[in-house]
Structure 1
Amino acid sequence: MTAQPSKPSRCPLPSDLLRASDDERDAVVEQLRDAAAEGRIDFDELDARVGRALKARTHAELAVLTADLPRPASPEPQPPLVLKGGMYGASRGPARWEVPGRVIAHGGVGGVKLDFTRVECRLTEVVVEAYGETSGVTIVIPDGWAADTRGMDPGRGGLRNETTPDRLPGTPLIRLTGSGGMGGVIIRHPDRRERRRLQGNPTQG
């Protein structure tokens, strides 16, 4: 029997030749902006490097743009924020608050409201584990943020997703999990009253 010639094995590409993703380009742009704010590069150089970052196709093209800059410190993991509606309800926001990578909300009897409209969040993803229970959970996210609700069990109270899918670069994705329970879970953008309040007090802390 004649031996069949073996197929040549495909060698993996070196990591610096791998194609860059949109998220990786955005991360480099953020690092460059931070470096300019710290005075490490001037604004003319910032513009030039950002332009190159947005056009970069490989990891190598991105790496050269930050090779002379300190690596950003890895943020320490934060414990999850837990809110329990209890008898009288609970809320976080609209005043500014620090957003951890995971939020757990139990609607209880009083209900829970999570308002992200005034936060500054550099996380790429925030997991919100919501349990509607008796009175439900309401989540308000800014325009330009998006939500993934595929991991949510609507329960008897249901899930209302009133957000738009148009996610702006650099904004976090809200990944919603949990169960609607009896009270249900709502995730939406600000309503008219909330928009008026935001416009009237744009710098409220």
Structure 2
Amino acid sequence: MTADASNTPVPRDKLRVSHEERDSVVEQLRDAAADGRLDIDELEDRVGRALTAKTYGELAPLTADLPGSAALAPVPPLVIKSGMQGAARTGRWKVPAKITAHGGMAGVRLDFTRVECTLPEVEIEAYGEMAGVTIVVPEGWWVDSDDVDPGVGGLRNKTLHPETRLPGTPLLRVTGKGGIAGITIRYPNFLERRKLDKAKGL
């Protein structure tokens, strides 16, 4: 029996880039030319390649020798363990293509409501263990949790179906085991929404 290719994580350099990321690279190349870092021929060549780039592997080398190119550098996988105090990722944080979360004795919370994620897909391997893992996502994101083993604690995915996914938002593909405390996937609650509105000045 062959493995389902859809469950195989896509390497970072094979992931598709967005129009915004292409435009950002073009702007960086033009700034570099204005600073004298690139001559006209180099600028024309790199801009042409940037505008036709489809993946990070094609786009990232165009600015690798220029200052400020870290934005396209791969974000390393994140492994987060609760320990005895609990652990969380909240606010604005860089989202990698792969996250592993262990609920342990105090729980883990992953809050994506204020992140800017340009990845088309993020893999989250969650283990609820004794205290559980909570994943909070903005409305309009789609979370696929079909491959989670609910265990004793269960899986509670309170997000909507794929047809509600907004263009340009990532797919979160959640795998792992619920353990004793389970895995919860949800939108922001009332208090969290108020904090988000306050941060936006609403």
TM-score, normalised relative to structure 1: 0.67
Matched residue type, 2:186: R
Matched residue type, 2:86: G
How far apart are residue 77 of structure 1 and its match? 3.5
What secondary structure does 2:94 align onto?
Answer: coil
Rounded to whole Å, the distance in 2 between the matches of 1:85 and 1:132 is 10
What secondary structure does 2:126 align onto?
Answer: strand
Q: 2:119 aligns with which of 119, 123, 134?
A: 123
Corresponding residue number in structure 2 for 1:174: 172
Rounded to whole Å, the distance in 2 between the matches of 1:77 and 1:150 is 27
Cα RMSD of the aligned pairs, angstroms, is: 2.5
Larger helix proportion, structure 1 or 2?
2
Q: 1:139 aligns with which of 125, 135, 142?
A: 135
Rounded to whole Å, the distance in 2 between the matches of 1:38 and 1:85 is 39
Corresponding residue number in structure 2 for 1:164: 160
Rounded to whole Å, the distance in 1 between the matches of 2:97 and 2:18 is 21
How far apart are residue 87 of structure 1 and its match? 1.4
What secondary structure does 1:109 align onto?
Answer: coil
Rounded to whole Å, the distance in 2 between the matches of 1:35 and 1:87 is 43
Corresponding residue number in structure 2 for 1:73: 60
Q: CA offsets per residue over residues 70-90 of structure 1, 9 Å max, x none?
A: 242264443211111121111
Matched residue type, 1:34: S
Question: 1:99–1:28: structure 2 CA closer, same or farther, 3 Å change rule?
Answer: closer
CA contact (8 A) 2:139 2:187 kept: yes
How far apart are residue 143 of structure 1 and its match? 1.1
Question: 1:140–1:78: structure 2 CA closer, same or farther, 3 Å change rule?
Answer: same
CA contact (8 A) 2:18 2:118 kept: no
Count matched residues: 153
1:96 and 2:75 matched: no
Larger radius of gyration: 1
Corresponding residue number in structure 1 for 2:194: 196
Matched residue type, 1:68: G
Rounded to whole Å, the distance in 2 between the matches of 1:78 and 1:28 is 17
**What residue ranges of structure 1 are gaps of 5+ in the alignment?**
1-22, 41-66
How far apart are residue 154 of structure 1 and its match? 0.5
Question: 1:31–1:77: structure 2 CA closer, same or farther, 3 Å change rule?
Answer: closer
How far apart are residue 28 of structure 1 and its match? 5.9
CA contact (8 A) 1:35 1:69 kept: no
How far apart are residue 123 of structure 1 and its match? 0.6
Percent pairwise identity: 51
